[in-house]
Structure 1
Amino acid sequence: MSKVKPFVAIVDDDESVGRAIKRLLRSIGMQADAFASGEAFLELVSSLPSYRPDCVILDIQMPGLNGLEVQQRLAGSGMPVIFITAYDDIAVREQALAAGAAAYLRKPFNDELFVRTVRSALGLGSPP
């Protein structure tokens, strides 16, 4: 039996960004959880093996673990990672993509581009 709705985790220390993305994803029929830190997200993933988002949206710059460190700890999990960041350093972008990120979007981003990017990372075509 397949999942009815794709499930996305958002990890961004700016709670307003997490809320906005969560609303956007829900508006297109996806489930979403938002986390204010990489540590909080990874703690839930490790303590609850059944918690398996279909995709993870990560901010680069966060207190504690940054997005690249969270991506590194998710390596081999099969969860696609999309980075969203106001920090557009070409070396960081290259590092994220070389480590397997599905995409690297600069804030502020266009909602339509974001939705297409998430759908692509999930292996979904255009909406019906």
Structure 2
Amino acid sequence: MPNLEPIVAVIDDDESVCRSIQRLLRSAGIEAETFSSGAQFLDTLTSTPSYRPACVILDIQMPGINGLEVQRRILPMSLPIIVITAYDEMSARQAAMAAGAMEYLCKPLNGAILIGAVERALGRQSLD
């Protein structure tokens, strides 16, 4: 059964970042589900074919499967992706944007900018 409300998937190995983004998005009326690794997110996509987030917020540097690899694997799904990172490396930025990321944001995140990016990804009118 499809979700009635769009859900944003937040993938970051830092639990506090996941919780903060989830709270921020909920304060803007956007539902979010968190994943502590790229593998956990990919496993959910594989094991639950009906699960399809409306947008993905994806950390680049994670142990195991990094964000760029997750992005590569979900590319065929055409999901809007917002990349977040604490390490702004030009090669990672270029790779993420070339692979179709909508936004590339650096931590610490500006809440208003993140909400605006998610609203654009969801096709909502931003109130900026």
**Which TM-score bucket, shorter chain as reference?**
over 0.9
SS at match of 2:61: coil
Equivalence for 2:74: 74
Gaps of at least 5 residues in structure 1 are: none
SS at match of 1:75: helix
The 5 Å alignment of 1:49-68 reads 49-68=49-68
Equivalence for 1:18: 18
Equivalence for 1:100: 100
Equivalence for 2:91: 91
Q: What is the one-letter code of the residue matched to 2:58?
A: L
Q: Normalising by the residue count of structure 1, what TM-score does the alignment of the two structures yield?
A: 0.94
Task: Measure, in 1, the Cα distance between the counterparts of 2:13 and 2:101.
Answer: 19
Task: Measure, in 2, the Cα distance between the counterparts of 1:65 and 1:4.
Answer: 30
- Residues paired across the two proteins, number: 126
- The change in CA–CA distance for 1:115 and 1:53 in structure 2 (over 3 A counts) is same
State yes or no: 1:29 paired with 2:29.
yes
Shift of residue 5, structure 1, vs aligned partner: 2.8
**Residue identity (%):** 55
Ranges of 4+ aligned residues in structure 1 off by more than 2 Å? 2-6
Q: CA RMSD in A?
A: 1.3
Equivalence for 1:126: 126
Q: Normalising by the residue count of structure 2, what TM-score does the alignment of the two structures yield?
A: 0.94
Task: Measure, in 2, the Cα distance between the counterparts of 1:109 and 1:30.
Answer: 17
Task: Measure, in 2, the Cα distance between the counterparts of 1:90 and 1:119.
Answer: 26
Task: Measure, in 2, the Cα distance between the counterparts of 1:28 and 1:3.
Answer: 18
Shift of residue 4, structure 1, vs aligned partner: 4.6
Shift of residue 55, structure 1, vs aligned partner: 0.3
Shift of residue 46, structure 1, vs aligned partner: 0.8
Shift of residue 103, structure 1, vs aligned partner: 0.5
Q: What is the one-letter code of the residue matched to 1:27?
A: S
State yes or no: 1:44 paired with 2:78.
no
Task: Measure, in 2, the Cα distance between the counterparts of 1:79 and 1:100.
Answer: 9
Contact kept in structure 2, 1:55 and 1:80, CA below 8 Å: yes
Shift of residue 28, structure 1, vs aligned partner: 1.0
